[in-house]
Structures are given as structure tokens and as C-alpha cells.
């Protein structure tokens, strides 16, 4: 049996007719940049996430870049973030002439450690230069939104929530449904094909409740021009295109169903790990059904054995896996001048060596999940021989 880490084609089979119909309409209209599809998708995302503004851009990376620029930090300001994330989180800081201040993650779920963040906000020798914070809702799980809100208010720092991976993750706060990405000053989303709401190419979105910020970011996506050919400032060429929006519009309608299916897969994995007595060997995500976790990635951690050997073993059995992330951002060659050493963040360091993402997507079959877990069991049996 072959079990891919992710398979777009199974989804396409189901949506093919509708996708081709929408694409045909885009091509026939001759309007392929910033037309009705982008506008409609922006409105629909706005409604879905209960936010005031949504701005389609070319990628999740650009969403971060534009958001950081729009917040008017000053050259040399520090922005707190996690070293255990995709590269774009931190490059949005350095590309804007700012300094990432990395803070280690928690062992529990690999989120940036908010206790340590507060400690740094109170005790860092240059704490007055810490102006921003980019938390990441990692692997589909919403961070503690209530606490993020409190940190923003208590310390007066700007928060950009990197929600590239977790669209639709939510929490109840004071009896209200609050979505990841909507408690900071700005939230950013990625529509990269593998994401829970993935396009057929690059795409991204920025969300905010702040009218002035929204107007500024709309301008920044078209070279800083509020009026065509009149540039108030130097911006970017970063627009979500009509082709992507026409497809994403269809998939947004399906997103809740996809999330529910992903939750079922997470529950099933948890049951299988228990059934095969793997709990002393594998740490796996809590199976939550309240949609605070939308299981974008299903990342397990080896308590015993060797992660790389398990990866190779599963590959031989036809099972796709991936490592998110093999290198902490503080150890990246391009960030050498920030002066971090590899062991500055022991929890991150440990996670880079012990975690492995297993196949998860809405169309993954029960028997495929069984095959994955049975082979993890076999790996440990062979290790113990
Ligand atoms: C945490 C995180 N931030 C930012 C991005 C960048 O998004 P994109 O690939 O759409 O540029 C990604 C996507 O890979 C991500 O996972």
C-alpha cells in the first residue's frame, strides 16, 4: 500500500466540475487580476472569521511581510517570535530591517512559551525596544487566544498572528466564538496548496479589524498606490489572482467539512496508538473535537527509537512523512549574525530531532491510517529485536 503525506488529487476528483466551471468563467471574463472573485473571497473569509477586513495577497509570506511593514516599527526594533516555525515568519522581520528575538517553545505542543515571552517583556535589558510579537498557530492548533489578547493589552506590543497553518481554528472566549488570527492587530493566512484551505498555486490573505491598517495594507499590495500610478510610498506587487480566488471560493464552502474530517482522522490515530500500545513510545497530539485544533499537520514525537530511522522505515513501506522542522530558525546560516548558538533553545532543539509529521488530509482512509500505525509498531518491534 502507498500512503502519501498529502494528496490533492483526491479532492480535485470531487470538486473538478465546479472548479473547471469557475475557471472557465474567469478566463472568459478577461479579468484575471483583482476582480470579483478576489473581492468575493475576501468578503467570505471576513464573514467566516468574524473580522472587519480581509485582503488577498500573493502568499502567506507576503501577508506577513506587508503586515510587519504596515505596523511602522522602527529600524532595529525587536520582534519576538518562535524559532520552531516556517522560515517566512522570521524573514518578514529581517526583511523589514527589524530583529527577531527568539523565545523557546513548550514541550507540550511546540507553541512559543508565553511564560517565557512575558519574562522577556519584563526583564530583557533592551525591553523598551521590543515592539512586536509574531505568535504562530502551529500545525492547525490555535494558541491560547485569551492570553495573547491579555499580553497585547498589558505590554502594549503589536501582535501579528501568523495563522498560515490554522485557518478555522477557534476558541470560546466569554461565550463568543473567536477565530485564530483575529485577536492580534493583524492576522495572516496562507493558501499554499497543502494548507487546509489550499489553492492551486501560491496565495495568501491578511485580516484585521483596524480600518486604517486595512487601507494601508491594501495600498501596500499594489506598490503603495491608493490611486493608480500615484504612489504614496514604496510597496509591493502582491495580489491574489482571480484564478486562485475562483478556486478558493469553492473550497471555503467545504472548509468546515474538511476540518471535521481532519478531526476524525486525529481521533482515529489516537485510538490506533492506544490499541497498539504505542503510548510509551510515541507522543501524539491530543484528540480535540472543539475545533481549537484543525489538524493541518499531525506531528508525533518519538519518546524512544530514532526519528530518522523511523522515517526511512516508513518510506520503505510506501508511507510519506515529513519533518517540521529539521532546523530551528536560530540555527539557520542566514541568521548567523543574530548571534544565537544551537543550544540556546533546548526544547526547539529536541523537537527538531524527534518529531515527524504523519499523513493527514480529509480524504485519508481508515485503512491507510491503520497501515501507518501498524508499520510504526513494526518499526519498534524491529528496533527492540
Ligand atoms: C507558519 C507559516 N508561516 C508562513 C508561511 C508562508 O506561507 P506561503 O507558503 O503561502 O508563503 C507558511 C507556509 O508555508 C507557514 O507554515
Question: Candidates 164, 167, 180, 238: which one to mutate for ligand 1, based on the most atoms within 8 Å of Cβ?
Answer: 164
**Cα 174 to ligand 1 centroid, rounded to whole Å:** 30
The pLDDT of residue 217 is 98
**Cα 188 to ligand 1 centroid, rounded to whole Å:** 9
**Cα 59 to ligand 1 centroid, rounded to whole Å:** 8
> What are the average pLDDT values for consecutive 10-residue runs of the chain, which has 385 residues?
97 97 98 97 98 98 98 97 98 98 97 98 98 98 98 98 98 96 98 98 98 98 96 97 98 98 98 98 97 98 96 98 98 97 96 98 98 98 91
Question: Candidates 56, 57, 67, 88: which one to mutate for ligand 1, based on the most atoms within 8 Å of Cβ?
Answer: 88
Delimit the domains of the chain by residue range: 8-250, 255-384
Q: Please state, in angstroms and rounded to a whole number, the distance separating the CA atoms of residues 322 and 332.
A: 19
Q: Please state, in angstroms and rounded to a whole number, the distance separating the CA atoms of residues 79 and 185.
A: 14
The pLDDT of residue 385 is 86
The pLDDT of residue 384 is 87
In the set 131, 141, 195, 219, the catalytic residue is: 195
Architecture in CATH for domain 255-384 = Alpha-Beta Complex (3.90)
Name which residue sits closest to atom 14 of ligand 1, judged by CA: 86
Ligand 1 pocket, residues with Cβ under 6 angstroms: 59-61, 85-86, 88-89, 136, 162, 164-165, 190, 192, 202, 204
CATH, domain range 8-250 = 3.40.640.10
**Cα 371 to ligand 1 centroid, rounded to whole Å:** 30
Q: Please state, in angstroms and rounded to a whole number, the distance separating the CA atoms of residues 20 and 69.
A: 37
Can 195 be counted among the known catalytic residues?
Answer: yes
The pLDDT of residue 91 is 98
Q: Please state, in angstroms and rounded to a whole number, the distance separating the CA atoms of residues 272 and 225.
A: 55
Amino acid at each position: 500500500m502507498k500512503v502519501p503525506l498529502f494528496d490533492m488529487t483526491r479532492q480535485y476528483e470531487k470538486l473538478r466540475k465546479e472548479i473547471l466551471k469557475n475557471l472557465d468563467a474567469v478566463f472568459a471574463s478577461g479579468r484575471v487580476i483583482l476582480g470579483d472573485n478576489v473581492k468575493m473571497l475576501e468578503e467570505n473569509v471576513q464573514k467566516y472569521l468574524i473580522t472587519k477586513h480581509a485582503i488577498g495577497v500573493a502568499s502567506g509570506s507576503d501577508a506577513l511581510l506587508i503586515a510587519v511593514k504596515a505596523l511602522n516599527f522602527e529600524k532595529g526594533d525587536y520582534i519576538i517570535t518562535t524559532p520552531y516555525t516556517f522560515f517566512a515568519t522570521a524573514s518578514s522581520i529581517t526583511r523589514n530591517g527589524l530583529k527577531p528575538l527568539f523565545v523557546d517553545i513548550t514541550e507540550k505542543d511546540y507553541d512559543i512559551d508565553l511564560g517565557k515571552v512575558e519574562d522577556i517583556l519584563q526583564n530583557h535589558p533592551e525591553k523598551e525596544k521590543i515592539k512586536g510579537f509574531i505568535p504562530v498557530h502551529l500545525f492547525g492548533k490555535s494558541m491560547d487566544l485569551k492570553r495573547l489578547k491579555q499580553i497585547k493589552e498589558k505590554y502594549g506590543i503589536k501582535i501579528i498572528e501568523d495563522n498560515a497553518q490554522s485557518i478555522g481554528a477557534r476558541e470560546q472566549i466569554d461565550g463568543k466564538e473567536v477565530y485564530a488570527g483575529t485577536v492580534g492587530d493583524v492576522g495572516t493566512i496562507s493558501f499554499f496548496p497543502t494548507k487546509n484551505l489550499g489553492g492551486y498555486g501560491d496565495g495568501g490573505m491578511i485580516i484585521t479589524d483596524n480600518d486604517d491598517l486595512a487601507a494601508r495594507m491594501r495600498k501596500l499590495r499594489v506598490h503603495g498606490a491608493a490611486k493608480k500610478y500615484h504612489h504614496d510610498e514604496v510597496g509591493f506587487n502582491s495580489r491574489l489572482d482571480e484564478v486562485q480566488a475562483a478556486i478558493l471560493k469553492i473550497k471555503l464552502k467545504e472548509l468546515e467539512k474538511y476540518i471535521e474530517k481532519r478531526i476524525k482522522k486525529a481521533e482515529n490515530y489516537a485510538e490506533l496508538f492506544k490499541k497498539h500500545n504505542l503510548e510509551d513510545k510515541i507522543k501524539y497530539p491530543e484528540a480535540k473535537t472543539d475545533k481549537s485544533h484543525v489538524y493541518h499537520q499531525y506531528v508525533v514525537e518519538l519518546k524512544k527509537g530514532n526519528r530518522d530511522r523511523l522515517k526511512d522505515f516508513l518510506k520503505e513501506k510506501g508511507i510519506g512523512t515529513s519533518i517540521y522542522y529539521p532546523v530551528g530558525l536560530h540555527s539557520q546560516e542566514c541568521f548567523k549574525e543574530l548571534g544565537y548558538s544551537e543550544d540556546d533553545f533546548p526544547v526547539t532543539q529536541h523537537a527538531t530531532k524527534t518529531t515527524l509529521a504523519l499523513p493527514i488530509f480529509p480524504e485519508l482512509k481508515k485503512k491507510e491510517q491503520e497501515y501507518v500505525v501498524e508499520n510504526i509498531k513494526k518499526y519498534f518491534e524491529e528496533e527492540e529485536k
